[in-house]
A = this chain, B = another copy of it.
Amino acid sequence: MDNPIVVQYELTCKDAAEAHKAAKDITYEQTVELPVDFPLKEEITNCITGAIRQIELIDNERYAAEIEYAAEITGWQLPQLLNILYGNISIKNNIKIIGVEFPRQFLDKFKGPNYGVEGIRALMGVYGRPLLATALKPMGASAAELAAIASAFARGGGDIVKDDHGLVDHSFCSFKERVLKCLEVVERAADKTGRRCLYIPNVLAGFDDIERQVEFAVGHGAAGILIAPYLIGLDTARYLAANYPIVVMAHPALTGTNFHDPRHGIAPSVLLGTIFRLAGADVSIYPNVGGRFSFSLDECRRLNNALRWELGGLRPSFPAPAGGMALDNISEMAALYGPDTIYLIGGALHSHDKDLSVGTRVFMDKIAEYFSEHIANPAPKSGTAVSSCDINAGGITATNRPNIHIVFGDDYRWDGIKPMVYKSGGEFDFKDITRHELVGKNGELADFDLRYFEIGQGGYSSLEKHVHIHVIICVRGTGTLICEENSYVLRPFDIAYVPPLHVHQLRNDGSDGVFGFFCIVNHLRDKPLMPT
Protein backbone atom coordinates (compact mmCIF):
# COMPACT_ATOMS: atom_id res chain seq x y z
CA MET A 1 0.00 0.00 0.00
CA ASP A 2 1.51 3.36 -0.99
CA ASN A 3 1.47 6.14 1.58
CA PRO A 4 -1.04 4.56 3.93
CA ILE A 5 -2.58 5.93 7.09
CA VAL A 6 -1.09 3.89 9.92
CA VAL A 7 -3.13 3.37 13.08
CA GLN A 8 -1.75 1.96 16.32
CA TYR A 9 -4.28 0.04 18.38
CA GLU A 10 -3.91 -1.39 21.81
CA LEU A 11 -5.84 -4.65 22.09
CA THR A 12 -6.65 -6.43 25.33
CA CYS A 13 -6.51 -10.13 24.46
CA LYS A 14 -5.62 -13.42 26.14
CA ASP A 15 -2.94 -14.44 23.68
CA ALA A 16 -1.24 -13.65 20.40
CA ALA A 17 -3.68 -15.72 18.35
CA GLU A 18 -6.64 -13.83 19.77
CA ALA A 19 -4.85 -10.52 19.20
CA HIS A 20 -4.24 -11.45 15.59
CA LYS A 21 -7.86 -12.39 15.10
CA ALA A 22 -9.02 -9.12 16.73
CA ALA A 23 -6.69 -7.10 14.47
CA LYS A 24 -7.87 -8.94 11.37
CA ASP A 25 -11.50 -8.28 12.35
CA ILE A 26 -10.70 -4.56 12.57
CA THR A 27 -9.21 -4.51 9.08
CA TYR A 28 -12.56 -5.74 7.68
CA GLU A 29 -14.99 -4.12 10.11
CA GLN A 30 -13.66 -0.62 9.47
CA THR A 31 -13.63 -0.90 5.69
CA VAL A 32 -15.77 -3.48 3.91
CA GLU A 33 -17.77 -4.32 7.05
CA LEU A 34 -17.91 -8.02 6.24
CA PRO A 35 -16.72 -11.17 8.00
CA VAL A 36 -13.02 -11.86 7.36
CA ASP A 37 -13.86 -15.09 5.55
CA PHE A 38 -16.14 -13.36 3.04
CA PRO A 39 -14.79 -13.96 -0.48
CA LEU A 40 -13.59 -10.59 -1.80
CA LYS A 41 -11.99 -9.64 -5.09
CA GLU A 42 -8.23 -9.26 -4.91
CA GLU A 43 -8.35 -5.58 -5.77
CA ILE A 44 -10.46 -5.03 -2.67
CA THR A 45 -8.27 -7.03 -0.30
CA ASN A 46 -5.24 -5.25 -1.79
CA CYS A 47 -6.52 -1.68 -1.76
CA ILE A 48 -9.56 -1.36 0.50
CA THR A 49 -9.36 -3.60 3.56
CA GLY A 50 -6.83 -2.60 6.19
CA ALA A 51 -3.56 -4.53 6.40
CA ILE A 52 -1.85 -5.66 9.58
CA ARG A 53 1.73 -4.40 9.76
CA GLN A 54 2.77 -5.87 13.06
CA ILE A 55 1.46 -7.05 16.40
CA GLU A 56 3.52 -7.16 19.56
CA LEU A 57 2.96 -7.99 23.20
CA ILE A 58 3.49 -4.85 25.28
CA ASP A 59 2.25 -6.00 28.67
CA ASN A 60 0.21 -8.71 30.30
CA GLU A 61 -2.69 -9.41 27.89
CA ARG A 62 -2.04 -6.14 26.09
CA TYR A 63 -0.98 -6.07 22.44
CA ALA A 64 -0.01 -3.23 20.17
CA ALA A 65 -1.28 -3.75 16.63
CA GLU A 66 -0.33 -1.54 13.68
CA ILE A 67 -2.83 -1.48 10.83
CA GLU A 68 -2.48 0.47 7.62
CA TYR A 69 -5.33 1.85 5.53
CA ALA A 70 -5.30 3.31 2.03
CA ALA A 71 -5.65 7.07 2.44
CA GLU A 72 -8.14 7.19 -0.47
CA ILE A 73 -10.82 5.43 1.52
CA THR A 74 -11.16 8.47 3.77
CA GLY A 75 -12.48 10.45 0.80
CA TRP A 76 -10.01 13.06 2.20
CA GLN A 77 -12.55 14.27 4.75
CA LEU A 78 -12.73 14.20 8.53
CA PRO A 79 -16.12 12.57 9.15
CA GLN A 80 -15.03 9.56 7.14
CA LEU A 81 -11.61 9.62 8.82
CA LEU A 82 -13.38 9.27 12.20
CA ASN A 83 -15.48 6.53 10.69
CA ILE A 84 -12.48 4.55 9.44
CA LEU A 85 -10.56 5.10 12.67
CA TYR A 86 -13.26 4.25 15.16
CA GLY A 87 -16.81 4.29 13.69
CA ASN A 88 -18.06 0.74 14.19
CA ILE A 89 -15.36 -0.55 16.51
CA SER A 90 -16.29 2.12 19.04
CA ILE A 91 -19.22 -0.20 19.76
CA LYS A 92 -16.92 -3.17 20.33
CA ASN A 93 -14.84 -3.60 23.46
CA ASN A 94 -11.18 -3.48 24.38
CA ILE A 95 -9.89 -1.68 21.30
CA LYS A 96 -8.01 1.55 21.95
CA ILE A 97 -6.37 3.84 19.42
CA ILE A 98 -3.05 4.98 20.80
CA GLY A 99 -1.42 6.49 17.75
CA VAL A 100 -1.97 7.49 14.14
CA GLU A 101 0.39 8.54 11.36
CA PHE A 102 -0.76 10.27 8.21
CA PRO A 103 0.99 10.41 4.85
CA ARG A 104 1.94 13.86 3.61
CA GLN A 105 -0.58 13.52 0.78
CA PHE A 106 -3.38 13.30 3.36
CA LEU A 107 -2.10 16.07 5.62
CA ASP A 108 -1.74 18.39 2.63
CA LYS A 109 -5.53 18.33 2.16
CA PHE A 110 -5.96 20.15 5.46
CA LYS A 111 -5.10 23.71 6.34
CA GLY A 112 -4.66 23.03 10.05
CA PRO A 113 -4.13 25.89 12.51
CA ASN A 114 -4.34 29.39 11.03
CA TYR A 115 -1.89 30.85 13.52
CA GLY A 116 -0.27 28.14 15.57
CA VAL A 117 2.24 28.90 18.29
CA GLU A 118 4.30 31.39 16.25
CA GLY A 119 1.28 33.15 14.80
CA ILE A 120 -0.35 33.64 18.19
CA ARG A 121 2.93 34.89 19.64
CA ALA A 122 3.24 37.41 16.81
CA LEU A 123 -0.37 38.49 17.31
CA MET A 124 0.28 39.02 21.02
CA GLY A 125 3.84 40.26 20.70
CA VAL A 126 4.82 37.87 23.50
CA TYR A 127 7.80 35.53 23.34
CA GLY A 128 9.69 33.35 25.76
CA ARG A 129 6.96 32.56 28.27
CA PRO A 130 3.63 30.75 28.54
CA LEU A 131 0.46 32.74 27.96
CA LEU A 132 -2.05 33.23 30.73
CA ALA A 133 -5.71 32.62 29.96
CA THR A 134 -8.91 32.56 31.96
CA ALA A 135 -12.59 31.83 31.36
CA LEU A 136 -15.58 34.13 31.78
CA LYS A 137 -18.22 32.60 34.03
CA PRO A 138 -20.64 31.77 35.54
CA MET A 139 -23.49 31.08 33.15
CA GLY A 140 -26.30 33.31 34.39
CA ALA A 141 -24.11 36.41 34.80
CA SER A 142 -25.04 39.39 32.61
CA ALA A 143 -22.93 40.53 29.70
CA ALA A 144 -21.84 43.54 31.77
CA GLU A 145 -20.76 41.31 34.67
CA LEU A 146 -18.76 39.08 32.37
CA ALA A 147 -17.20 42.08 30.65
CA ALA A 148 -16.11 43.40 34.05
CA ILE A 149 -14.16 40.16 34.62
CA ALA A 150 -12.64 40.43 31.14
CA SER A 151 -11.67 44.01 31.83
CA ALA A 152 -9.97 43.24 35.15
CA PHE A 153 -8.06 40.32 33.63
CA ALA A 154 -6.90 42.45 30.69
CA ARG A 155 -5.90 45.33 32.93
CA GLY A 156 -3.94 42.87 35.08
CA GLY A 157 -1.88 41.95 32.02
CA GLY A 158 -3.50 38.61 31.17
CA ASP A 159 -3.20 37.36 27.61
CA ILE A 160 -6.41 35.56 26.63
CA VAL A 161 -9.87 35.71 28.13
CA LYS A 162 -12.35 33.25 26.70
CA ASP A 163 -16.01 32.59 27.33
CA ASP A 164 -16.83 29.58 29.42
CA HIS A 165 -17.83 26.85 26.98
CA GLY A 166 -21.37 26.76 28.41
CA LEU A 167 -22.08 30.38 27.46
CA VAL A 168 -24.27 30.36 24.36
CA ASP A 169 -26.80 32.74 22.88
CA HIS A 170 -28.99 32.76 26.00
CA SER A 171 -32.16 34.72 26.64
CA PHE A 172 -30.47 36.08 29.77
CA CYS A 173 -27.14 36.93 28.09
CA SER A 174 -27.14 37.17 24.33
CA PHE A 175 -24.15 36.23 22.21
CA LYS A 176 -24.04 39.59 20.46
CA GLU A 177 -24.23 41.70 23.59
CA ARG A 178 -21.56 39.64 25.32
CA VAL A 179 -19.23 39.80 22.32
CA LEU A 180 -19.62 43.56 21.84
CA LYS A 181 -19.14 44.36 25.52
CA CYS A 182 -16.17 42.08 26.04
CA LEU A 183 -14.42 43.21 22.86
CA GLU A 184 -14.87 46.79 23.92
CA VAL A 185 -13.36 46.34 27.39
CA VAL A 186 -10.31 44.42 26.23
CA GLU A 187 -9.65 47.11 23.61
CA ARG A 188 -10.00 49.80 26.25
CA ALA A 189 -7.65 47.91 28.59
CA ALA A 190 -5.12 47.61 25.76
CA ASP A 191 -5.11 51.38 25.38
CA LYS A 192 -3.96 51.58 29.00
CA THR A 193 -1.59 48.63 29.26
CA GLY A 194 -0.10 48.95 25.79
CA ARG A 195 -0.49 45.17 25.58
CA ARG A 196 -3.03 43.13 23.70
CA CYS A 197 -5.45 40.85 25.50
CA LEU A 198 -7.54 38.62 23.23
CA TYR A 199 -11.19 38.07 23.98
CA ILE A 200 -12.28 34.72 22.52
CA PRO A 201 -16.05 34.18 22.40
CA ASN A 202 -17.59 30.73 22.64
CA VAL A 203 -19.34 29.74 19.43
CA LEU A 204 -21.69 26.91 20.29
CA ALA A 205 -24.81 26.93 18.16
CA GLY A 206 -26.83 24.93 15.71
CA PHE A 207 -25.88 24.37 12.08
CA ASP A 208 -28.07 27.28 10.96
CA ASP A 209 -26.57 29.85 13.34
CA ILE A 210 -22.98 28.96 13.96
CA GLU A 211 -21.43 30.61 10.93
CA ARG A 212 -23.44 33.81 11.56
CA GLN A 213 -22.00 33.95 15.06
CA VAL A 214 -18.47 33.58 13.74
CA GLU A 215 -19.09 36.29 11.14
CA PHE A 216 -20.48 38.58 13.79
CA ALA A 217 -17.53 38.02 16.12
CA VAL A 218 -14.94 38.40 13.36
CA GLY A 219 -16.75 41.36 11.85
CA HIS A 220 -16.60 43.13 15.19
CA GLY A 221 -12.93 42.50 15.72
CA ALA A 222 -12.66 39.20 17.58
CA ALA A 223 -9.36 37.54 16.76
CA GLY A 224 -10.55 34.07 17.63
CA ILE A 225 -13.29 31.72 18.74
CA LEU A 226 -13.73 28.91 21.22
CA ILE A 227 -15.32 25.78 19.81
CA ALA A 228 -16.05 22.29 21.11
CA PRO A 229 -15.54 20.06 18.05
CA TYR A 230 -17.40 17.09 19.50
CA LEU A 231 -20.45 19.22 20.30
CA ILE A 232 -20.69 21.02 16.96
CA GLY A 233 -19.21 18.24 14.80
CA LEU A 234 -15.53 17.85 14.00
CA ASP A 235 -15.88 18.99 10.42
CA THR A 236 -17.94 22.01 11.36
CA ALA A 237 -14.93 22.99 13.46
CA ARG A 238 -12.57 22.40 10.53
CA TYR A 239 -14.80 24.40 8.20
CA LEU A 240 -14.89 27.41 10.52
CA ALA A 241 -11.12 27.32 11.07
CA ALA A 242 -10.43 26.94 7.35
CA ASN A 243 -12.72 29.75 6.28
CA TYR A 244 -12.16 32.51 8.82
CA PRO A 245 -8.86 34.15 9.67
CA ILE A 246 -9.15 33.31 13.34
CA VAL A 247 -7.40 31.80 16.31
CA VAL A 248 -9.29 28.61 17.16
CA MET A 249 -9.32 27.33 20.74
CA ALA A 250 -10.72 23.80 20.93
CA HIS A 251 -12.59 22.57 24.00
CA PRO A 252 -12.75 18.84 24.83
CA ALA A 253 -16.43 18.72 25.88
CA LEU A 254 -18.09 15.34 25.17
CA THR A 255 -14.80 13.65 24.21
CA GLY A 256 -14.37 12.12 27.65
CA THR A 257 -16.08 8.80 26.89
CA ASN A 258 -12.90 8.03 24.98
CA PHE A 259 -10.73 8.38 28.07
CA HIS A 260 -12.74 6.57 30.72
CA ASP A 261 -11.16 3.15 30.29
CA PRO A 262 -7.49 2.60 29.39
CA ARG A 263 -8.56 -0.32 27.18
CA HIS A 264 -11.04 1.62 25.07
CA GLY A 265 -11.49 4.86 23.14
CA ILE A 266 -9.17 7.17 21.23
CA ALA A 267 -6.21 8.35 23.32
CA PRO A 268 -6.09 12.07 24.23
CA SER A 269 -2.87 12.59 22.26
CA VAL A 270 -4.61 11.34 19.10
CA LEU A 271 -8.03 12.94 19.55
CA LEU A 272 -7.28 16.24 21.34
CA GLY A 273 -3.80 16.36 19.82
CA THR A 274 -3.38 15.18 16.24
CA ILE A 275 -7.03 15.18 15.14
CA PHE A 276 -8.01 18.52 16.67
CA ARG A 277 -4.83 20.07 15.19
CA LEU A 278 -5.74 18.61 11.81
CA ALA A 279 -9.17 20.24 12.20
CA GLY A 280 -7.49 23.60 12.77
CA ALA A 281 -7.11 24.00 16.54
CA ASP A 282 -4.47 26.65 17.30
CA VAL A 283 -4.99 25.83 20.96
CA SER A 284 -6.23 22.56 22.48
CA ILE A 285 -7.63 22.77 26.00
CA TYR A 286 -7.39 19.63 28.11
CA PRO A 287 -7.65 18.60 31.75
CA ASN A 288 -4.29 19.15 33.39
CA VAL A 289 -2.70 16.41 35.46
CA GLY A 290 -3.62 16.99 39.09
CA GLY A 291 -6.82 18.86 38.24
CA ARG A 292 -10.35 17.68 38.87
CA PHE A 293 -10.28 15.38 35.86
CA SER A 294 -8.09 12.40 35.25
CA PHE A 295 -5.33 12.69 32.64
CA SER A 296 -2.01 11.20 33.65
CA LEU A 297 1.31 12.98 33.38
CA ASP A 298 2.25 10.71 30.49
CA GLU A 299 -0.99 11.48 28.66
CA CYS A 300 -0.32 15.19 29.04
CA ARG A 301 3.22 14.85 27.70
CA ARG A 302 2.12 12.81 24.70
CA LEU A 303 -0.65 15.27 24.00
CA ASN A 304 1.75 18.21 24.12
CA ASN A 305 4.01 16.42 21.68
CA ALA A 306 1.16 15.68 19.29
CA LEU A 307 0.28 19.37 19.30
CA ARG A 308 3.78 20.79 18.97
CA TRP A 309 5.78 18.25 16.97
CA GLU A 310 6.06 18.06 13.21
CA LEU A 311 2.86 17.08 11.43
CA GLY A 312 3.36 17.54 7.68
CA GLY A 313 3.23 21.24 6.93
CA LEU A 314 0.72 22.01 9.70
CA ARG A 315 1.56 24.72 12.21
CA PRO A 316 2.30 23.61 15.79
CA SER A 317 -0.51 24.29 18.28
CA PHE A 318 -0.51 25.47 21.87
CA PRO A 319 -1.48 22.99 24.57
CA ALA A 320 -3.72 24.64 27.15
CA PRO A 321 -3.79 22.52 30.31
CA ALA A 322 -6.70 23.58 32.50
CA GLY A 323 -7.34 23.06 36.16
CA GLY A 324 -5.10 22.30 39.09
CA MET A 325 -2.86 25.31 38.62
CA ALA A 326 -1.98 27.68 41.45
CA LEU A 327 0.73 30.15 42.34
CA ASP A 328 2.73 27.58 44.26
CA ASN A 329 3.00 25.05 41.44
CA ILE A 330 3.98 27.35 38.60
CA SER A 331 7.57 26.22 38.97
CA GLU A 332 6.47 22.62 38.39
CA MET A 333 4.29 23.68 35.47
CA ALA A 334 7.22 25.57 33.99
CA ALA A 335 9.50 22.56 34.23
CA LEU A 336 6.85 20.17 32.96
CA TYR A 337 5.36 22.08 30.04
CA GLY A 338 7.95 24.66 28.98
CA PRO A 339 7.17 28.07 27.50
CA ASP A 340 4.94 27.08 24.52
CA THR A 341 1.92 26.53 26.71
CA ILE A 342 -1.21 28.41 27.62
CA TYR A 343 -2.05 28.25 31.31
CA LEU A 344 -5.81 28.23 31.66
CA ILE A 345 -6.49 29.37 35.21
CA GLY A 346 -9.84 29.88 36.89
CA GLY A 347 -10.49 29.96 40.61
CA ALA A 348 -6.86 30.51 41.61
CA LEU A 349 -6.88 33.97 40.03
CA HIS A 350 -9.83 35.01 42.15
CA SER A 351 -8.53 33.57 45.39
CA HIS A 352 -5.59 35.93 45.54
CA ASP A 353 -7.33 39.27 45.78
CA LYS A 354 -10.86 40.59 45.50
CA ASP A 355 -9.62 42.63 42.55
CA LEU A 356 -9.05 40.18 39.72
CA SER A 357 -6.61 42.54 38.02
CA VAL A 358 -4.37 42.22 41.09
CA GLY A 359 -4.60 38.43 41.07
CA THR A 360 -3.77 38.39 37.38
CA ARG A 361 -0.79 40.68 37.93
CA VAL A 362 0.54 38.41 40.69
CA PHE A 363 0.31 35.42 38.37
CA MET A 364 1.99 37.25 35.51
CA ASP A 365 4.84 38.25 37.79
CA LYS A 366 5.23 34.70 39.01
CA ILE A 367 5.38 33.44 35.42
CA ALA A 368 8.05 36.06 34.68
CA GLU A 369 10.21 34.61 37.47
CA TYR A 370 10.57 31.33 35.60
CA PHE A 371 10.84 32.55 32.03
CA SER A 372 12.60 35.24 30.03
CA GLU A 373 9.82 37.27 28.50
CA HIS A 374 10.39 39.18 25.26
CA ILE A 375 7.79 41.68 24.23
CA ALA A 376 7.25 42.99 20.69
CA ASN A 377 4.59 45.06 19.02
CA PRO A 378 1.49 42.97 18.41
CA ALA A 379 0.87 42.12 14.75
CA PRO A 380 -2.28 43.51 13.11
CA LYS A 381 -5.40 41.44 13.77
CA SER A 382 -6.83 39.84 10.65
CA GLY A 383 -10.33 40.13 11.99
CA THR A 384 -10.36 43.87 11.90
CA ALA A 385 -8.44 44.63 8.75
CA VAL A 386 -9.20 41.56 6.78
CA SER A 387 -8.44 41.46 3.10
CA SER A 388 -10.99 39.98 0.80
CA CYS A 389 -8.90 36.91 0.27
CA ASP A 390 -8.52 35.99 3.90
CA ILE A 391 -12.00 34.99 4.82
CA ASN A 392 -13.16 33.34 1.67
CA ALA A 393 -14.81 29.95 1.65
CA GLY A 394 -12.78 28.70 -1.26
CA GLY A 395 -12.03 29.14 -4.89
CA ILE A 396 -9.25 31.67 -4.47
CA THR A 397 -6.09 31.37 -6.41
CA ALA A 398 -3.03 33.35 -5.56
CA THR A 399 -2.90 35.05 -8.93
CA ASN A 400 -6.49 36.26 -9.15
CA ARG A 401 -7.65 39.26 -7.17
CA PRO A 402 -11.12 40.72 -7.27
CA ASN A 403 -11.58 43.89 -9.28
CA ILE A 404 -13.51 46.60 -7.50
CA HIS A 405 -14.57 48.39 -10.67
CA ILE A 406 -15.30 46.62 -13.97
CA VAL A 407 -15.80 49.29 -16.58
CA PHE A 408 -18.38 48.83 -19.32
CA GLY A 409 -17.29 49.69 -22.84
CA ASP A 410 -18.41 49.44 -26.42
CA ASP A 411 -20.70 46.76 -27.78
CA TYR A 412 -21.55 45.18 -24.43
CA ARG A 413 -18.00 44.35 -23.44
CA TRP A 414 -16.22 45.02 -20.13
CA ASP A 415 -12.59 46.00 -19.62
CA GLY A 416 -10.50 42.93 -18.96
CA ILE A 417 -13.34 40.45 -19.43
CA LYS A 418 -13.00 38.17 -22.43
CA PRO A 419 -16.02 36.42 -23.94
CA MET A 420 -15.68 32.67 -23.43
CA VAL A 421 -17.18 29.61 -24.98
CA TYR A 422 -20.58 28.93 -23.50
CA LYS A 423 -19.95 25.38 -22.39
CA SER A 424 -17.41 22.67 -22.99
CA GLY A 425 -18.29 19.02 -23.32
CA GLY A 426 -20.21 17.59 -26.20
CA GLU A 427 -23.39 16.09 -24.78
CA PHE A 428 -25.41 19.30 -24.79
CA ASP A 429 -26.85 21.01 -27.85
CA PHE A 430 -26.50 24.81 -28.02
CA LYS A 431 -25.86 27.45 -30.67
CA ASP A 432 -24.29 30.91 -31.03
CA ILE A 433 -23.94 31.81 -27.36
CA THR A 434 -21.03 33.35 -25.40
CA ARG A 435 -20.33 33.72 -21.70
CA HIS A 436 -18.61 36.56 -19.80
CA GLU A 437 -17.55 35.77 -16.20
CA LEU A 438 -17.94 39.09 -14.37
CA VAL A 439 -17.93 38.31 -10.65
CA GLY A 440 -17.25 35.16 -8.65
CA LYS A 441 -14.24 33.50 -10.23
CA ASN A 442 -11.58 35.87 -8.94
CA GLY A 443 -11.78 35.24 -5.22
CA GLU A 444 -14.72 37.51 -4.55
CA LEU A 445 -16.38 36.58 -1.29
CA ALA A 446 -19.76 36.14 -2.89
CA ASP A 447 -22.17 33.25 -2.45
CA PHE A 448 -23.08 33.84 -6.11
CA ASP A 449 -21.50 34.34 -9.54
CA LEU A 450 -22.50 37.08 -11.97
CA ARG A 451 -22.15 36.25 -15.64
CA TYR A 452 -23.29 37.92 -18.88
CA PHE A 453 -24.44 35.85 -21.84
CA GLU A 454 -25.18 36.78 -25.42
CA ILE A 455 -27.16 34.76 -27.91
CA GLY A 456 -27.10 35.65 -31.59
CA GLN A 457 -30.21 35.55 -33.74
CA GLY A 458 -31.33 31.94 -34.12
CA GLY A 459 -29.12 30.83 -31.23
CA TYR A 460 -30.05 29.07 -28.00
CA SER A 461 -28.60 27.72 -24.78
CA SER A 462 -28.75 24.03 -23.90
CA LEU A 463 -32.03 22.55 -22.75
CA GLU A 464 -31.17 21.40 -19.21
CA LYS A 465 -32.16 21.18 -15.57
CA HIS A 466 -30.33 21.34 -12.25
CA VAL A 467 -30.97 21.84 -8.55
CA HIS A 468 -29.46 25.32 -8.51
CA ILE A 469 -31.59 28.20 -9.67
CA HIS A 470 -31.02 30.99 -12.20
CA VAL A 471 -31.85 34.65 -11.90
CA ILE A 472 -31.79 36.39 -15.25
CA ILE A 473 -31.81 40.10 -16.05
CA CYS A 474 -32.39 40.87 -19.71
CA VAL A 475 -30.34 43.89 -20.81
CA ARG A 476 -29.98 43.68 -24.60
CA GLY A 477 -32.50 42.88 -27.30
CA THR A 478 -35.30 40.39 -26.80
CA GLY A 479 -35.26 36.67 -26.05
CA THR A 480 -37.37 33.82 -24.85
CA LEU A 481 -37.12 31.75 -21.69
CA ILE A 482 -38.51 28.24 -21.97
CA CYS A 483 -39.27 26.94 -18.47
CA GLU A 484 -40.99 23.54 -18.30
CA GLU A 485 -44.11 23.85 -20.46
CA ASN A 486 -44.17 27.68 -20.44
CA SER A 487 -42.35 30.34 -22.39
CA TYR A 488 -41.70 33.95 -21.45
CA VAL A 489 -40.61 36.81 -23.67
CA LEU A 490 -37.81 38.75 -21.98
CA ARG A 491 -37.26 42.42 -22.79
CA PRO A 492 -34.61 44.75 -21.28
CA PHE A 493 -34.71 44.82 -17.47
CA ASP A 494 -37.22 42.01 -17.29
CA ILE A 495 -36.15 39.58 -14.60
CA ALA A 496 -36.67 35.84 -14.60
CA TYR A 497 -36.29 33.14 -11.99
CA VAL A 498 -35.78 29.50 -12.95
CA PRO A 499 -36.75 27.24 -10.01
CA PRO A 500 -34.85 24.06 -9.08
CA LEU A 501 -35.08 21.13 -11.47
CA HIS A 502 -37.18 23.02 -14.02
CA VAL A 503 -36.14 22.13 -17.54
CA HIS A 504 -35.22 25.41 -19.23
CA GLN A 505 -33.60 27.07 -22.20
CA LEU A 506 -32.85 30.63 -23.38
CA ARG A 507 -33.52 31.30 -27.04
CA ASN A 508 -33.15 34.14 -29.51
CA ASP A 509 -35.85 33.36 -32.03
CA GLY A 510 -36.53 36.98 -32.95
CA SER A 511 -35.10 39.42 -35.45
CA ASP A 512 -34.18 42.08 -32.89
CA GLY A 513 -30.41 41.49 -33.06
CA VAL A 514 -28.37 40.11 -30.19
CA PHE A 515 -30.13 38.93 -27.01
CA GLY A 516 -27.97 39.70 -23.94
CA PHE A 517 -28.67 38.97 -20.30
CA PHE A 518 -27.03 38.80 -16.92
CA CYS A 519 -27.38 35.44 -15.22
CA ILE A 520 -26.78 35.09 -11.48
CA VAL A 521 -26.24 31.65 -9.97
CA ASN A 522 -25.23 30.24 -6.59
CA HIS A 523 -21.43 30.08 -6.37
CA LEU A 524 -21.63 26.46 -5.20
CA ARG A 525 -23.90 24.59 -7.55
CA ASP A 526 -24.56 21.23 -9.14
CA LYS A 527 -23.79 20.38 -12.73
CA PRO A 528 -26.60 20.60 -15.31
CA LEU A 529 -28.36 17.44 -16.39
CA MET A 530 -30.01 16.59 -19.67
CA PRO A 531 -33.79 16.65 -19.31
CA THR A 532 -35.29 13.17 -18.88
Contact = CB atoms under 8 A, between A and B. Distances in A.
A17 interface: no
Copies of this subunit: 2
Interface residues of A, number: 142
A136 B220 CA distance: 49
A77 interface: yes
A358 interface: no
Contact of A204 (B80, B405, B498, B524): B80
Interface in A163-220: 164-166, 168-172, 204-209, 211-212, 215-216, 218-220
A22 interface: no
A380 interface: no
Nearest to A474: B408
A147 B208 CA distance: 34
Interface stretch (A117-125, A235-243, A332-340, A365-373): A235-243
A187 to B, nearest CB: 10
Interface in A495-532: 495-501, 518, 520, 522-524, 526, 529
A387 B469 CA distance: 12
Q: Of residues A38, A403, A526, which shows the largest number of chain B Cβ atoms within 10 Å of its Cβ? A: A526
Given A83-B204, A206-B79, A287-B91, A496 B406 contact: yes
A91 B256 contact: yes
A475 interface: yes
B497 A402 contact: yes
B493 A73 contact: no
A481 interface: yes
Contacts of A491: 408
B447 A522 contact: yes
A324 to B, nearest CB: 13
Contact of A89 (B31, B90, B256, B448): B256
Contacts of A171: 72
A206 B228 contact: no
Contact of A92 (B256, B475, B493, B499): B256
Interface of A: 30-35, 38, 40-41, 43-44, 47-48, 72-73, 75, 77-80, 82-84, 86-93, 135, 137-141, 164-166, 168-172, 204-209, 211-212, 215-216, 218-220, 228, 231-236, 238-239, 252-261, 264-266, 287, 292-294, 346-347, 384-388, 391, 393-394, 402-408, 412, 414, 438-439, 444-448, 450, 466-469, 471, 473-475, 481, 483, 486, 488, 490-501, 518, 520, 522-524, 526, 529
Given A257-B257, A406-B496, A444-B497, 5 more contacts: A33-B138, A78-B206, A84-B166, A90-B256, A406-B495
